[in-house]
Amino acid sequence: MKHHEVDAALAVVGEGVKADSLESETLDFKLVAESPKATFNLISDALVCFVNAHGGTLVLGVDDKATDRVQALRGVPESYTVEGVRKGIFDRTSPPITAFVEERVVEGARLILITVPQGAMPHSNAAGLATRRLGKECLPFPPHQQREVMIARGQVDWSADASSLSVSQLSAVEFERLRRLLIASGRDHLAELADRALLESLRLIAPNGSVTNAAVLLLADEELIPRVIPSYGYSYQFRPTSGSEATGRTRGTRPLIAAIQAMTDAMESRREVWPLNLAGGVQLQLTDYPSEAARELVINAFIHRSYETGGTVDIEHSPERMIITSPGGLVSGVTPANILTHPSTPRNRLLTETVSVLQLAERTGQGVDRAYREMLRIGKEPPLFEDHGTLVRATLAGGIGNAAFVRFISDLPLRASRDINILLSLTHLRHSRSIDAFELAEIIQRAPVEAQEVLRMMLDDYSLIAPTKRSASKQFPTYRLRAEVLAAMSRSVSYRHVDVDDMDRKVIEHVREYGFVTNQTIRRLFDLHVYAARDLLNSLREREIIDKIGDARGGAGVKYGPGPRFPKSKS
């Protein structure tokens, strides 16, 4: 808890404001109890609750129910010295907590501020009870939750624990597969080592001489792995429609690298691809499930799952959606609402680092950012993550990507076309007419100030958006797509402007003056590529503002004149 936050709370306590309403996950107020023993027990319980969560500050000497300032600032007797309070806490916590204790006099009331940081390991009170502060409550902190928190803080790593196997029991075939990956990743010096030396270099040998659990997952054969790690396994099924019977099924216990390859091969064999031709002879691909997005999520499911929880990694594939399920909830601190921006907290750190060395997946960001980027770049929604406590479900939406959006993105500067925050902003603006920093903050999982910086970059650096007239002078304006951007994105946008915009007006004025307009004219007027110009013309045709003239079916000769809803001249 920062001092200025405590000061701000103390400044308003009792000024018609109850201290209880100012309490938070990192701030609490208490009164001295009837005896020093009871007081120290009260303080110790509160600090254990703080230290097992995010740390915090306890202010002793404040009545949290009083609305009158004099009644609220009750103070602490001089008999409670700073050293005495510190020792009382130390003696009543396990492992002992050494707190930061200071006196503070507020309007004649002597208060004691006691601050603790987040603990490196779980703590309990004198009775052996461990609690953790969530919101304003202290809730039980059972052993399985303690272990998850220690995993998140990098203090427990199941994958680095010793297994029951020796190096000689591992598979020669899998060693060869491992060496091929090392060579492909430019680590020939490791690939040339003998088996044991190779494992030692990768830290896959435990202190007792046996191989680690990570080594078993990577290098034991499929008959041996289930005997050592009973929870290991995977399944894949393909359904022609989401509600029909599966027509393709795979289930197995092959070692991790081979399993990932088998799963990605199964998905790839059923992936739908449509070629997309761009100007200049460039050809891109539209697909239902981008290979890199699906592969990253499959790898995540294998390396970040809980192997201390029953269940297998399961993939359900249909044209409508792909669902990848893995046992164990998200690691403590990670939620679907912050998974894109939360610092990497691998559950199985050694396994994750080894897979990173093999360049099978991104270590930083857990590959989630890549899955987001690849889905967004083809005009689709990002992955949907759900944490059900005992399992995590990642869902990719099926169906073809959006050709108009892909064409638009391909024309952006490379940096913008690969910026997840910009892609998320543009995706939102495909379905909503406007956006502001507060909306975007939730979408990109960042603070509103950071979201405003993204919008500023889209405005100043790339000219993608413009502030609305009513909000332009505000600190956090509301933005819309610029007219030419809206036209270029055209059919990827799910809404239509009811009023004729500036681009429409220019086209109408040209048709009124010259009698017709062509694709080439549109390109010259607005500096658009051929496809964006075509989409603008199609939009005007759909609204019956213009209509095709003559018998030409395509090409440069196609002309467009006034349509049934072409505006009449005011004159």
pLDDT tens-digit series, residues 113-147: 999 998 878 999 989 999 999 888 999 998 878 88
Q: What pLDDT is stored for residue 500 in this prediction?
A: 43
Reference 204, options 360, 351, 87, 416; nearest CA is 351
Q: Selecting from 3.40.190.10, 2.60.40.10, 1.10.10.10, 1.10.1370.30, what CATH number does the domain 404-492 have?
A: 1.10.10.10
Q: What pLDDT is stored for residue 199 in this prediction?
A: 97
Q: Is the pLDDT of residue 160 over 70?
A: yes
Q: What pLDDT is stored for residue 202 in this prediction?
A: 96
Rounded mean pLDDT of 93-98?
A: 95
Rounded mean pLDDT of 302-325?
A: 94
Structure tokens at 175: 């060693």
pTM over cut 0.85: no
Q: Are 535 and 487 in contact (CB under 8 A)?
A: yes
Topology adopted by domain 502-562:
Arc Repressor Mutant, subunit A (1.10.10)
Average the pLDDT over each of 201-210, 527-536, 540-549 and give the range with the smallest value: 527-536
Q: Which residue has the higher pLDDT, 169 or 402?
A: 169
The CATH code of the domain at 154-401 is: 3.30.565.60
The share of the chain scoring above pLDDT 70, in percent, equals: 94
Q: What is the C-alpha separation between 338 and 334, in angstroms, rounded?
A: 6
Q: Are 395 and 387 in contact (CB under 8 A)?
A: no
Secondary structure of residue 563 in the 3-state scheme: coil
CA 344 → CA 217, 218, 340, 374, distances in Å? 21, 22, 10, 20
Topology adopted by domain 3-141:
3.30.950
Rounded mean pLDDT of 16-40?
A: 93
Domain boundaries along the sequence of the chain: 3-141, 154-401, 404-492, 502-562
Mean residue pLDDT of the chain comes to 90
Same fold, 154-401 and 502-562: no
Q: Are 379 and 406 in contact (CB under 8 A)?
A: yes
